[in-house]
Amino acid sequence: MDDQEYILKLRHDLHQHNYNYYVLNNPTISDQEFDILLRQLADLETLHPELYDPNSPTQRVGSDLSQEFETFIHVRPMLSLGNTYNKEEVADFYERVREGLAGEDFEICCELKFDGLSIALHYEDGKLVRAVTRGDGVQGDDVTANVRTIRTIPLQLPADADWPASFEIRGEILMPWSSFEMLNHEREAREEPLFANPRNAASGTLKSKQTSVVAERRLDAYLYYLLGDQLPADGHYENLQAARRWGFKVSEAMRKVRTLDQIYDFIAYWDNERRRLPVATDGIVLKVNSLRQQRALGMTAKSPRWAIAYKFQAEQQSTILREVTFQVGRTGAVTPVANMDPVQLSGTMVRRATLHNADFMAQLDLHIGDHVLVEKGGEIIPKIVSVDEAFITPDRGPRVEFIRHCPECGAELVRYEGEAAWYCPNESGCPPQIKGRIEHFVSRRAMNIDTLGPETIDDFYARGLIHDYADLYTLTVDQLSGFGDTRIRSARKTIQAIADSRKVPFERVLFALGIRFVGETVAKTLARRFRSVDALAHATLDELMQVNTIGAAIAESVVRWFRDADNAWLIERLRAQGLQLQLSEEMLAAQSDRLAGKTIVISGVFVHHSRDEYKALIEQHGGKNTGSISAKTSFILAGDNMGPAKLDKAKKLGVSIVTEEEFLKMVE
């Protein structure tokens, strides 16, 4: 068997193993065996770039390169469903269908309403060619590269299945509860805003500009509607059973019914059982099963007459507030937390709920001993909705007040203009802030010292081995190991990981410093503009604010951080340890200002470089990438098959079109 034949065989086998594992939950080989096969395929594809296939199993890991999203006009509009919240309105829908079909017998397909992001998947000759979000229903974003990383979505359908040559299948992109909880736990540790629910998390993830981020967050997908000119059957239910045979993940909860009582039974059953599901649901969808009857019933301007969504009521429980405690995070932000009597809510035991900030807490007018209403609904994060006024008595407990001093170090709290949170200003002497900054410094997207977790950092801090992140570079194996071969091996691994972090590029070091408001993207922007930590340290407020995307809050935070004498000493100690505090010579040599001040849109398919490579070139030469055309657009870098909508808009706004060859001459 030659390399080409073996590549095709590996792709076929890995697609099948992927389906067995993620859709059927019935793997036939071990994870290690799968990884070995995947590695073999990746090595062979490297040797044979001419055999590249965007739907290869190796493409599911995603890329760290950034991307923008093209808009795509839906072949068939993606209309929203009408909502109902009670059985009477369900009965009204049922009667409207019966009257609309003039008494003809009909079946209703009952399905779960998954709470995620709607997606339309297009297949040609058994291959995924495009994935488009709902958008405004008429057009959406082309997120094909990101969707290819979702392992429950088939990239290549089995050759022996009876799928049509061309079809569209719609469904919902979801983040499972387990992935959601893990993601929010990580964001909380980094003091980033938490996602309110899995739907928002899935939406934010699918719109990520890095496919590698989408891949690592383990999104899921359920498909619920098949469209095309040559479908297997007239029945919606029957078409989805066919789609299941082709390899699509279709919910087992679907049922065909004929009577209103059967619909009510389905709703009652899943109103309780949905809490056991691994993904979020927020209701039931009822669809007339026959496609012929669907066409006969038709559409309103906004929604189909043959379908309706029944929404579950958000679950609330009453419990007693016992105490409010206050937590201090890495940035010094102080967050109030309600501690309550345990209460069962949406399948989990709830004891604590965030109160967000002082203003939120004041609006609730909480008193110790109050009966409070707690809600999760479609959200995993418990929240206190209100005080249960039915239980308020004249001898009500003391009112909960926001503290004025840090609960960890005693410093007087401050509140910055325009912000809701109160902060502990004692950055260098408040233990949670110190340990939180070290945890941020070693995190994967910063210095990537993956042998140091929160517990290890807490131990090192308690033993007096580290007082800030610069101390990490003075640790020794003897300090960490104590006694025993296992601990010595672990200590050596940690010291080696710390040593390796000296090679981390400047933009990530800048992110690792933990300057308030300086995330990954801002750190890259500042690194490319100022090129060294010394230049950034001497930048004025005006100079910072002249940089694209840098506003007053970020600029003031950067200036304030570098003015602090303790931070200046930190930089000098990191410099002495050999960290990268300026852009590499290769990066500096490749940079220019040829595109300075220009805002550029990329559209189409290119010959000489990929879209991601062109985006990097634009940034390298001082330009700014954007995904949409406006009067501020300098020009469009256009390849073959430029989107017609963008072409029309460019003509209307008088935006010039630059070819691939013309652009390469610009940047030489």
> Under CATH, which architecture does the 506-590 domain have?
Orthogonal Bundle (1.10)
> Which stretch, 82-91, 120-129, 180-189, 643-652, has highest mean pLDDT?
120-129
Taking 90 as the threshold, does the pLDDT of residue 150 lie above it? Answer: yes
pLDDT digits (tens, 9 = 90+) for 517-543: 898 878 988 998 899 999 999 999 999
Taking 90 as the threshold, does the pLDDT of residue 370 lie above it? Answer: yes
Q: What is the pLDDT of residue 52?
A: 76
Please, what CATH class does the domain formed by 316-391 belong to? mainly beta
Whole-model pTM: value is 0.54
Helices (H), 55-197: 87-100, 144-147, 177-189
- List Cα–Cα distances, 114 to 20, 236, 493, 524, 620, in angstroms: 22, 18, 44, 37, 42
The model's confidence at residue 61, banded by pLDDT at 50, 70 and 90, is low
Q: What's 272-323 look like in SS3? A: HHHHHCCCCEEEEEEEECEHHHHHHHCECCCCECCEEEEECCCCEEEEEEEE
CATH of domain 77-311: 3.30.470.30
Helices (H), 328-453: 358-364, 431-442
Task: Name the nearest CA neighbour of 374 among 388, 359, 394, 393.
Answer: 388
Q: What's 203-262 look like in SS3? A: HHHHCCCCHHHHHHCCCEEEEEEEECCCCCCCEHHHHHHHHHHHCCCCCCCCEEECCHHH
Taking 50 as the threshold, does the pLDDT of residue 63 lie above it? Answer: no
Q: What percent of the chain has pLDDT over 70?
A: 92
Q: Which of 9, 87, 113, 435 is catalytic?
A: 113
pLDDT digits (tens, 9 = 90+) for 187-224: 777 767 777 778 888 888 888 877 888 888 889 999 99
CATH of 3-61, one of 1.20.1090.10, 1.20.210.10, 1.10.357.10, 1.10.287.610: 1.10.287.610
pLDDT digits (tens, 9 = 90+) for 159-175: 888 899 999 999 999 99
What's the whole-number mean pLDDT along residues 286-290? 96
113 is catalytic: yes
Q: What is the pLDDT of residue 516?
A: 86
Taking 80 as the threshold, does the pLDDT of residue 386 lie above it? Answer: yes
Q: Which residue has the tokens 């104590």?
A: 482
Average pLDDT, whole number, for the chain? 86
The model's confidence at residue 589, banded by pLDDT at 50, 70 and 90, is low
One fold for 77-311 and 506-590: no
What's the whole-number mean pLDDT along residues 443-451? 90
DSSP state of 82: P
On whether the CB atoms of residues 600 and 624 are closer than 8 A, the answer is: yes
Lowest mean pLDDT among 8-17, 23-32, 460-469, 633-642: 23-32
Lowest mean pLDDT among 413-417, 574-578, 624-628: 624-628
Q: Tokens representing 369?
A: 């001993």
CATH topology (fold) of 431-503: DNA polymerase; domain 1 (1.10.150)
pLDDT digits (tens, 9 = 90+) for 222-278: 999 999 989 999 999 999 999 999 999 999 999 999 999 999 999 999 988 887 888
The verdict on domain 599-667 having CATH code 3.10.20.30 is no
Taking 80 as the threshold, does the pLDDT of residue 646 lie above it? Answer: no
Query: Where are the chain's structural domains?
Result: 3-61, 77-311, 316-391, 431-503, 506-590, 599-667
The model's confidence at residue 65, banded by pLDDT at 50, 70 and 90, is very low
| β-strand pairing of 599-603 with 635-638 | parallel
Taking 50 as the threshold, does the pLDDT of residue 66 lie above it? Answer: no
- List Cα–Cα distances, 346 to 9, 173, 198, 277, 320, in angstroms: 45, 22, 14, 11, 18
Stated as kind and residue range, the H or E segment containing 576 is helix 565-576
What's the whole-number mean pLDDT along residues 409-421? 89
Taking 80 as the threshold, does the pLDDT of residue 73 lie above it? Answer: yes
Q: What is the pLDDT of residue 81?
A: 84
Taking 50 as the threshold, does the pLDDT of residue 64 lie above it? Answer: no
Q: What's 348-384 look like in SS3? A: EEEEEEECCCHHHHHHHCCECCCEEEEECCCCCCCEE
Q: What is the pLDDT of residue 338?
A: 95
Q: Which residues contact 344 (CB under 8 A, 6 or more apart)?
A: 317, 350
